[in-house]
Amino acid sequence: MNTLYFDMTSGLAGDMTVAGLLHISGVKSRVLSELFSKFFKSKVEIVLETCFVNGIKCSRLSIDFDKTAVKKRDFLTIKEMISSSSLISEKVKIASTGIFRIIAEAESKIHGQNIDNVHFHEVGAVDSIIDIISTAYLLEKISPDKIVFSTPLTGSGIIKSGHGTIPVPSPATMEILKGLDIKRIDAGDELTTPTGAAIIKYYCNNANISFSGRILETAYSTGTKSFEELPNILRILLLKQNSQAHNIIEIEANVDDMTGEEMGFLMDSFLKSGALDIFFTPVYMKKNRPGYKISILCSPDKAEFLSEKLLRESSTAGIRFSERQRIILDREFTSLEFKGYTVTLKKISGDNFVKIYPEYESVAEIARQTGTPFNTVYREILKNLE
């Protein structure tokens, strides 16, 4: 499993993101130049420059285009440009439009406009289109299993915008980052831009300052700004993780007055609603009444929803929850031909070991079709794997 980790020491902007991803992906900047020259039907030159920030070698994106030919574009126009392009895949179109939509929704709320009419200022619109589509395009090339971001940093002060002077973080950035943990520092300038915030919001459900795994690749990128107390650097890490370690939430409740049918329905309902797992443990409760402890495992972003669901759909009058750490191994499915049947195999791997098991449904189907005992079929399949 490969994880892409964005270590945002000074926030995030679109150009810094693209510069870092170009390095990680190995895609040459001229590929993007050719792509966007065709996309805009006008010459676009994208160059990856090398510079040093506090002695650290970094990549910086340089974009050059004919600014006299730039047109005004609103969200509806940009959306149609993306959807009608034959230069990018459907996956890139969906991600690009999704990121632009996040920005447009925030701007429409701030300025009281219809979302389709949200205006992206002339020169900034071209930069934003290049940054956002390039991000989606390069992430498709890298194809990480998971994307993780550190806590977004926002700056302070006053900056100029197309509508006049505005506070930092900008209202759009604050609206986009709503629901995520952020950290504001006294930088006297903008650190996380609306484009950077939208990239975070689209690809990340939660921020995580810690990471683990074997480092496969690192990239350092920067923008055009410099700060006295802060290195303007984005560090991107590509990590290989044979086992997945992460935090989960365990929700618990005890019940002694629910029927077996109700408990079975509850389990199915929670698994369909995003629980990682749910199980029941027999317990003795007050007055020696036999009951069950309901245990639900879920990701942190699902904890509130599933807690409310348990209170609403079970007979419990209260719940308790705790944070747990969980390690799971990499899992993938393969297949094997066995006596004319296709057997689905589950392959579980960790550091220096692999475990392979035939899937129950495959074994059961062969047992039913051939009249052979289940355990006999199972053992014969395992022998074929040796």
Residue 320 has pLDDT above 60, yes or no: yes
Rounded mean pLDDT of 364-370?
92
Residue 269, pLDDT score: 94
Residue 163 has pLDDT above 80, yes or no: no
Question: Where does the pLDDT of residue 268 fall: very low under 50, low under 70, confident under 90, or very high at 90 and above?
Answer: very high
**Where is mean pLDDT largest: 100-114, 249-263, 319-333?**
249-263
Measured distance CA(248)–CA(323) in Å, rounded: 6
How many beta carbons lie within 10 A of that of residue 352, not counting itself?
6
Residues in the chain: 386
Query: pLDDT digit string (tens) for 169-206?
Result: 888 899 999 888 888 988 878 899 999 999 999 998 55
Number of H helices and number of E strands within the chain?
11, 18
Residue 243, pLDDT score: 59
Measured distance CA(292)–CA(282) in Å, rounded: 5
List the structure tokens of 76: 């509806």
Residue 121 has pLDDT above 70, yes or no: no
Measured distance CA(131)–CA(137) in Å, rounded: 10
β-partners of residue 219 are 236
Say how many Å lie between the first and final Cα of the chain, rounded: 25
Measured distance CA(70)–CA(289) in Å, rounded: 75
Measured distance CA(118)–CA(154) in Å, rounded: 24
Question: Where does the pLDDT of residue 123 fall: very low under 50, low under 70, confident under 90, or very high at 90 and above?
Answer: very low
Measured distance CA(137)–CA(91) in Å, rounded: 9
Residue 264 has pLDDT above 90, yes or no: yes
Measured distance CA(378)–CA(386) in Å, rounded: 13
Confidence (pTM)? 0.66
Measured distance CA(185)–CA(352) in Å, rounded: 44
Residue 212 has pLDDT above 90, yes or no: no
Residue 57 has pLDDT above 60, yes or no: yes
Residue 242 has pLDDT above 60, yes or no: no
Measured distance CA(59)–CA(19) in Å, rounded: 6
Average pLDDT over the chain reads: 89
